[in-house]
Structure formats: C-alpha cells, structure tokens
Structure 1
Amino acid sequence: MPPAQNTAGPGREVLTSDDIDRALRRIAHEILEANKGPEHLVLLGIPTRGAHLARRLADALERVEGTEVPVGSLDVTMYRDDLRSQPTRAVEPTVVPPGGVDDKVVVLVDDVLYSGRTVRAALDALSDLGRPRAVRLAVLVDRGHRELPVRADYVGKNLPTSTAERVMVRLAEHDGEGTEGVRIAGPAEVAP
C-alpha cells in the first residue's frame, strides 16, 4: 500500500482548525480575566491573518460576556523597518473602531510572533491613532527568535523553531475552506 499523500500542504501540522478555535477561546478568557471584563477593550488585528484572528477573538469574547468588543485592523506596512528590502508589500486600510483608541486597552492581534519587528511597527502606527491606556499583544503562535525586546501577553501556542523553518498559518477567511491550520516546514519543504 502506498503511503498516504499530504494534501494539506508542506511540513507537519502543529495546530488544526479545532486547536485554533480552542486557543482563541482560551485567549478570550485570559483577556477578560486580566482586564476584569470587556469594558474599555479594543482589538486591532495586524493584516492579513491577524485581522481575521481579531474578528474571531472578538466573537469569542462576545460569546463569553454577551458584550460586543470593538474590533478593527492596523496596517503597519509604512512603519516597517524592512520596507526598502521588501518594497512590494501591499498596503491595507487601517480600520479604527468607533470610539477610537484613546484611554482604551488595545489588544494587538497577530498570527505569528517572530523577530518582534512587526509589533514595533504596530506600536509606531498605533501612536499615530491616539493614546491608549494600555497595549497588550495576543498571538496565535510564538516561534521565538526575537530581535527586539517584545513579549506576547496572550499566546495560543509556543512553538520553538529554527530560523530555517517556516511557520505557515492558514485561515479559512483568507486561504479558503478546508485549508485551515498551522504547519511548520523546513526550507526544502517550502514551495518558492
């Protein structure tokens, strides 16, 4: 009998769709506990997949508390320090929820925390929008290898990796139904 083919993509699966849902539910409870409820919370997802995760996290918070939490997105493209080396990045609109970010507890949401440079760019972008009471960071995957002193407050999964590996997050909203999950692949497994 021939070995089963991997139809879900390269690498090994580390989180399934159900695992992602469980991680977001847990993070929602952690945010509510740390904030003592949903008051003054604003979620800002970092496009592309971070924006989808922020919407899912807002839904999870609403299911727990019965209160809608404002959610938006924060494009960091023009604040990145690698823009010269990667000038083809697409700029997506920043969407600030009604009420803004002043005196709010802003939770930045992203899919993977790696070097910390995207978070630094997000903090710069956020400072142009107002002055939050506090800023927290929620990530689906923390893979290590920080280049800046950045730490996530809420983590779905800590995933130790080598710098040669690639963490691939796929979400139904962006990548299509049936593709959801998180995979880790070595350089030989990643398509160009």
Structure 2
Amino acid sequence: MKPILNKELIDITIKRLAQQILENHSDLSEVVIIGLQPRGIFLSDRIFQQVQQLVEGQQIQYGKLDITFYRDDVRNSLHKANETDIPFSIENKTVILIDDVLYTGRTIRAALDALLDFGRPAKVALCVLIDRRFSRQFPIQADYIGKAIDSFENQKVLVRWKENSEKDQVYIE
C-alpha cells in the first residue's frame, strides 16, 4: 500500500476545501451542503464544521443523501441502504455535493438523480477529497478537489477515517 494523505495532510486539505467553498459563495443563505452516504459523510461532516467555524453567525444548511436505490448496479450487488436526511428545500439553491473519491462518475450520476427528487437546484457543485482523473465513465468533474491522482483501473484508493477506522489516512493498493 502506498500512502497518499496522512492525518495532517487530510486536515490541511479539508481546511483548504472549506476556504475555497467560502471564496466562491460569500452568501451562504443560498448554499446547502449535502454529503453522500455512506463514505462521503465523514468528509462532509468535517467540511461543514470548518465552514461553520469560518462564518460565525451565518447558518448553512447541511444534509446527507443516500443513493442506494439510484445506483445502476443496485440489482447486482448487496448495497446497504443508509438514511437520507435533508430537512430543507434545495429548490433554487446551490448544492455542494461532497464525496470521498471521484472515480467513474457513476456514484455522482446516481446522486444527481436522487437529488432531483428533493427539488430543482439552481446549481450543483461537487467537492471530493480524491479525484482519480483518468477513469471516468460519465462526463463528470469536481469543482473542489483535495488531491488529484493517477491510478490504474485495477488499483483501489482507500480512504480511512478515525470515525470508522483507527486513523485518518488515504492510500492506494
């Protein structure tokens, strides 16, 4: 296994992503953050906390989206459904979708389908910790990227969080 990001670099990257979001969206009243279940929420929780710390007094809406039944492989695999928690309208809002790794684009395609069940956003932006650049099957790209990497199709990028593993770390195997 080859390390890509350790805890310190993950922390720095999350702070940078939160800053970039704020640079592009000075009025957070029209912005919502939505983390993708299950693995994207570890990143989205931290980015949301960073944004909240940086914009004292402004409230930003935060939700979690499960895409299990929107996946194109749901019939072929044993995906466990998670809870969706979006207690606000996304109608005419800027939605920032957050996930850990952007690989083929299929997860994000499913997320866009699921998102439309909650309304018609004005804009959707994508924030990812890792962008596996040369492996897209759909024309999807991230607006906010923690780290872009080149990898072979047979390699796996593993993101570990202290919430579900022993420590924060990203590596490739």
For the aligned pair, the TM-score class normalised by the smaller chain equals over 0.9
| 1:107-138 C-alpha deviation (Å, 9 max, x unpaired) | 00000000000000000000001111111000
1:91 corresponds in structure 2 to 81
TM-score by length of 1: 0.85
2:139 to 133, 143, 149: 149
Structure 2 match to 1:112 = 101
Post-superposition, which runs of at least 4 consecutive aligned residues in structure 1 deviate over 4 A? none
Q: Name structure 2 gaps, 5 residues minimum.
A: none
Root mean square deviation, CA, Å? 1.1
Q: 2:61 aligns with which of 63, 70, 94?
A: 70
2:150 aligns with one of 136, 143, 160: 160
CA contact under 8 A between 1:80 and 1:117: conserved in structure 2?
yes
Choose the corresponding residue for 2:42, options 52, 56, 59.
Answer: 52
Question: Does the 8 Å contact 2:97/2:124 carry over to 1?
Answer: yes
Indicate the structure with greater strand content: 2
Residue 24 of structure 1: how far off its partner (Å): 1.1
Partner of 1:3: none
Give the letter for the 1:183 counterpart.
Y
Larger Rg computed on CA atoms? 1
Match of 2:118 in 1: 129
Instruction: Please state how far the C-alpha of 1:56 moved relative to its aligned partner.
Output: 0.7
Q: Paired residue for 2:72, among 76, 81, 86?
A: 81
Residue correspondences, number: 171
Q: TM-score, normalised by structure 2?
A: 0.94
SS at 1:26 equivalent = helix
Query: Which residue in the other structure is 1:100 paired with?
Result: 89
**Contact 2:32–2:61 under 8 Å retained in 1:** yes
Partner Cα distance (1:37, 1:130) in 2: 20
1:7 equivalent in structure 2: none
| Deviations 1:168-187 (CA, angstroms, capped at 9, x unpaired) | 00011222xx42110100xx
Query: Percent of aligned pairs with the same residue?
Result: 39
Q: Deviations over 1:64-121 (max 9, x none)?
A: 11133221111011001111221x1000011003x32112111000000000000000
